[in-house]
Structure 1
Amino acid sequence: MAEHLLEVRNLSVRFHTAQGVVNAVNDVSWHLDPGETLAILGESGSGKSVSSSAIMNLIDCPPGEITEGEIFFDGMDLLKASDEERRALNGKRIAMIFQDPLSHLNPVYTVGWQIAETITAHGRPDQMAKDRALELVRRVGIPNPEQAMKKYPHQFSGGQRQRLMIAMALGLKPDILIADEPTTALDVTVQAEILTLLEELQEETGMGLVLITHDLGVVAEAADRAVVMEGGRIVETGTPHDLYHNAQHPYTRKLLAAAPGKGEMRQPDAQAQPILSCRNLSKTYGAFHALDRVNFDLMKAETLAIVGESGSGKSTTARLILRLEEASGGEALWHGEDLLKKSPREMGKVRRQIQMVFQDPTQSLNPRMSVFEIISEAWVIHPGVVEKRRWRGRVEQLLGQVGLLPEHANRYPHQFSGGQRQRIAIARALALEPELIICDEAVSALDVSIQAQVIELLGRLRDELGIAFMFIAHDLPVVRDFADRVLVMKQGEIVEQGPVRQIFEDPREPYTQRLLAAGLDPDPEVQRQRREARLKLSA
């Protein structure tokens, strides 16, 4: 039998923490062949990123410790390689791209210099490195590559930064590329473009690709084989087709069951009355129109989803309604009163009725405050909502509503998982008993099962408490399951809006059709059909 390009055998990794020893990876074995795409699928804490970090020697030891195992590449056990041997391999023959390119690109150097540096670091001449960097920037589809080389990371969109990281990783034509959640926070169209780009580059170079993901749609779109991890162990291995149609392990079946986009679509209430009406809402920055005459209604106890690519104006719409930014024109009528004309004092009262849940709870929750202080702060700002003697009981009640325990009130945000932190953010939004909660990409970075739990929670709160939701998202399967109506935005304008069934089953605008075709489905057969539709629309 031919030797594998890369083989991980019986790898175990543990971390020594203040709370004790954490066994992150337990007796894990898998292999990668030339030209193959292997997906490592699992949720946060499953060990998928730790196992790949061991390949690149990126585990801090201590607190990390590789207790056993072997990693073979080109006849060498990487775990026994010297630092000099590792440096000769990393970047040149084994490369990695990370989930958040902004955290891994140096903000004080131009992107051209950074791409060239990965080449000169392995002994290539400066001019050869510059020429290769320009060739790569052009190859990964960055507009005006000569000018782009002179720009800094912050001057690019998220999708462009991810393309630049791919260019950097491919500088020396590696044999293996490890991609750690390369598309998680990207728009559906950009996500599809990145996966297509990786596939094209793989065909050109014959490299093996390790794709680390929690998204079953990514597996269906890009993988030849998949390894499913739970709790640091491999629980199942197979092709995307086998895993979808014949999953053996309960954890794999749980992931498949939690995948959105398969439920019954909701029907808007024809009798519902609008609580918010936006008329000709506009925002300009100089000559740039970020929002251009936007009109829509939001009904009581309804979920209105706003979808579109980055820069389409989704978040700007929410910020104007909340007066986090000032509109350039138009009206935002809240129960018939124009929010844009209210004084700061009057807006303070309205903010009790309109709350917001942000995308990243790590940034939106104060790390120095306990959960009790975070939630009860709303009653400090808005006195009279809850008597102070009842604060403790009300906080515990709110935590119960979002599926947390009373004792969690005394903990701090860093002591919770991402999904639990988002639940705390929702509890904080509920503290003032609002009529409307604006969710700005509130579930986009969560694992599929946690995402399903949060969506189920929001749906229950909508039905039980009559709360309306403005749901800003790029994850179309979630929108399909949760929304009553959908508003599609492009470049600051609404191009289409209607009931969720009409948008998903009979979209009228080519842009909406492209968005839907770019969405990923866990069923490999459905995903193949979407890819064909995407190719037709782009032809």
Structure 2
Amino acid sequence: MAEHLLEVRNLSVEFHTAAGVVHAVKSISYHLDKGETLAILGESGSGKSVSSSAIMNLIDMPPGRISSGEILLDGRDLLTMPAEERREVNGRRVAMIFQDPLSHLNPVYSVGWQISEAMTTHGLAGSKAREEALRLLRRVGIPEPERAMRKYPHEFSGGQRQRVMIAMALALRPDLLIADEPTTALDVTVQAEVLKLLKELQRETGMAVLIITHDLGVVSEIADRVVVMEKGAIVEAGTVREIYKNPQHPYTQKLIAAAPGKGAMHEPGARAEPLLSVRDVRKTYGSFEALKGISFDLMPGETMAVVGESGSGKSTLARALLRLDEPDSGTALWKGRDLFALSPAELYKLRRDLQMVFQDPTQSLNPRMTVYQLISEAWVIHPDILPKAKWRERVAELLVQVGLSAEHMSRYPHQFSGGQRQRIAIARALALEPQLIICDEAVSALDVSVQAQVIELLDRLRREMGIAFIFIAHDLPVVRDFADYVMVMQQGEVVELGTVREVFDTPRQAYTRALLAASLSPDPDAKAGHLASVPAEAADILIPKRSH
């Protein structure tokens, strides 16, 4: 019998590129036992996803190459196993769920067919596979599972899609589940529910879980041990408590120090003439009321955080304010002029003052344009801002401001990680030196240290240039560190509005208390992410009514 379920020994992975060889993983070793959860913690480019892809044989070769090492599953080396045996291992013994389920679920097949396919591929009869798919959808909490079997991925919310992917991964009852950033873009309550589901399923099946993440809160919530990676190498390993309470390596210390939610709260100054005054904004889609009379004021240089779960109306509000969607009624006075009443020509002139950073940079960045073209496009549209001779110099400055380098300007979006693409989107928004930036989950996919760096950048721009922010987020510790005011939305309505101190220290509404209780803490002794810690009256709001 093998000593460990999974043992990775001296694994090295390299990629051959036009610019030379990139050593993505450098002789790493770790192990994982049955029923155990191991977290691989690190930032974009640390090699954590590449190392897990090697276990599943998902590295494109070429340009990739596993240059050394062994990956032992119950003592057998997956790297030397014949291809037919390796195919039997994938899915049946080792399964994987990915960060972005919409990109990994086939858009042209129903989810029932896709879950069933995982089983029929490994020899299960079609009728039995459909029965098991239905049982799995029911088990992972998908509402109306019979109907859900016939639905397509785009018909589910992000949390539901992640649950569908978990059902697919569990179809063959694997011994090892690899979860690559499984909760990055999810609301705090949905994230807590997904992690709780993984823990329940682990207890039921005894499977081992290898979770790849940059979120210290997720690590403290679900992991038994942690491996910390930097630049392809393991720099530290230990139990969750050892790593958090007594980190030895400077990189681990930097990650823990960068965790949000520990700084001083902002104390907003006196409020005078608002930059933006929103009154009774409403928006419906058919019979669905997305916005039900939203009102608030925003001063110059102020940050209004908007929090709430998926479907609460946060993004609809942002799109309405920018006239990307036309509201049904209400007013939004920008320096006394109603944005909703402006003609297209008048609105065009104001576009440079109002910018937006979207949640998904993969969708918002044109894949056919280089980074230089993406950022300088703003000056093509508004040529009076900057002479063309200074474009390259300014693009380089903006890239450095958001934590990238000037040499990145010749690359295309697909050549960057998700966090790097979001930094490019922020640089593009800053190119026009706007007076208001609407950030729609702009830092949700960033590494903790990069997130801290970007928040510090935005805070500095607010202080130095007087830029105001509408900051839509589900990461409440980040909101606590960055916002002046917090607006809590639920089902299209504002249920609470106050200073960050009022909302975080003395929340009035049960829904707000539920959001705060479900937020994950990086401190393993706090265990704030457990839904068991949600106040009873708040739990009644979140758990029975939500199925994703």
Please give the TM-score of this superposition, normalised by the length of structure 2.
0.94
Aligned-partner Cα distance in 1 for 2:484–2:70: 52
Deviation at 1:528, TM superposition (A): 5.0
Aligned residues of 2:35 and 2:206 also touching (Cα < 8 A): yes
User: 1:240-259 residue pairs with structure 2 within 5 A?
Assistant: 240-259=240-259
Aligned partner of 1:44 in structure 2 is 44
Deviation at 1:414, TM superposition (A): 5.0
SS in 2 for 1:524: coil
Deviation at 1:428, TM superposition (A): 2.8
Deviation at 1:371, TM superposition (A): 4.1
Aligned residues of 2:221 and 2:530 also touching (Cα < 8 A): no
Change over 3 Å in CA distance of 1:233–1:401 after alignment to 2: closer
- Residue 277 in 1 paired to residue 261 in 2? no
SS in 2 for 1:238: strand
Deviation at 1:128, TM superposition (A): 1.6
User: 1:87-486 residue pairs with structure 2 within 5 A?
Assistant: 87-388=87-388, 390-392=390-392, 394-396=394-396, 398-399=398-399, 401-402=401-402, 412-413=412-413, 418-486=418-486
SS in 1 for 2:525: helix
Change over 3 Å in CA distance of 1:62–1:2 after alignment to 2: closer
Change over 3 Å in CA distance of 1:64–1:433 after alignment to 2: closer
Change over 3 Å in CA distance of 1:79–1:372 after alignment to 2: closer
Change over 3 Å in CA distance of 1:341–1:176 after alignment to 2: same
1:201-258 deviation line (CA, Å, top 9, x unaligned): 0000111111111111000000011111111111111111111101111111111011
Deviation at 1:300, TM superposition (A): 1.0
User: Which letter does structure 2 place at the counterpart of 1:198?
Assistant: L
Aligned-partner Cα distance in 2 for 1:168–1:419: 27
Aligned-partner Cα distance in 2 for 1:393–1:253: 34
SS in 2 for 1:427: helix
User: Which letter does structure 2 place at the counterpart of 1:119?
Assistant: M
Aligned-partner Cα distance in 1 for 2:528–2:374: 46
Deviation at 1:366, TM superposition (A): 3.3
Aligned-partner Cα distance in 2 for 1:123–1:159: 30
User: Which letter does structure 2 place at the counterpart of 1:172?
Assistant: L
Change over 3 Å in CA distance of 1:182–1:401 after alignment to 2: closer
- Residue 11 in 1 paired to residue 19 in 2? no
Aligned residues of 1:362 and 1:413 also touching (Cα < 8 A): yes
Deviation at 1:390, TM superposition (A): 5.0
Aligned partner of 1:538 in structure 2 is 539
Aligned identity (percent) is: 70
User: Which letter does structure 1 place at the counterpart of 2:131?
Assistant: D
Range that drifts further, 455-464 or 112-121 = 112-121
Deviation at 1:272, TM superposition (A): 3.8
Unaligned runs of 5+ in 1: none
SS in 2 for 1:526: coil
Change over 3 Å in CA distance of 1:400–1:85 after alignment to 2: closer
1:111-166 deviation line (CA, Å, top 9, x unaligned): 11111111111111222211111111100000111111111111111111110111
Range that drifts further, 450-459 or 362-371 = 362-371
SS in 1 for 2:534: helix
CA RMSD for the aligned pairs?
A: 2.0
Unaligned runs of 5+ in 2: 541-548
Aligned-partner Cα distance in 2 for 1:126–1:414: 38
How many aligned residue pairs are there?
Answer: 539
SS in 2 for 1:426: helix
User: 1:44-63 residue pairs with structure 2 within 5 A?
Assistant: 44-63=44-63
User: Which letter does structure 1 place at the counterpart of 2:19?
Assistant: Q
Deviation at 1:104, TM superposition (A): 1.4
Aligned residues of 2:518 and 2:529 also touching (Cα < 8 A): no
Please give the TM-score of this superposition, normalised by the length of structure 1.
0.95
Deviation at 1:527, TM superposition (A): 1.9
Deviation at 1:406, TM superposition (A): 5.5
1:277-336 deviation line (CA, Å, top 9, x unaligned): 111100001111011101111111101111111111111111111111100111111112
Aligned residues of 2:192 and 2:529 also touching (Cα < 8 A): no
Aligned residues of 1:272 and 1:300 also touching (Cα < 8 A): no
Aligned residues of 2:196 and 2:530 also touching (Cα < 8 A): no
SS in 2 for 1:525: coil
Range that drifts further, 371-380 or 220-229 = 371-380
Aligned partner of 2:526 in structure 1 is 526
Aligned residues of 2:519 and 2:528 also touching (Cα < 8 A): no
User: Which letter does structure 2 place at the counterpart of 1:181?
Assistant: E
User: Which letter does structure 2 place at the counterpart of 1:331?
Assistant: T
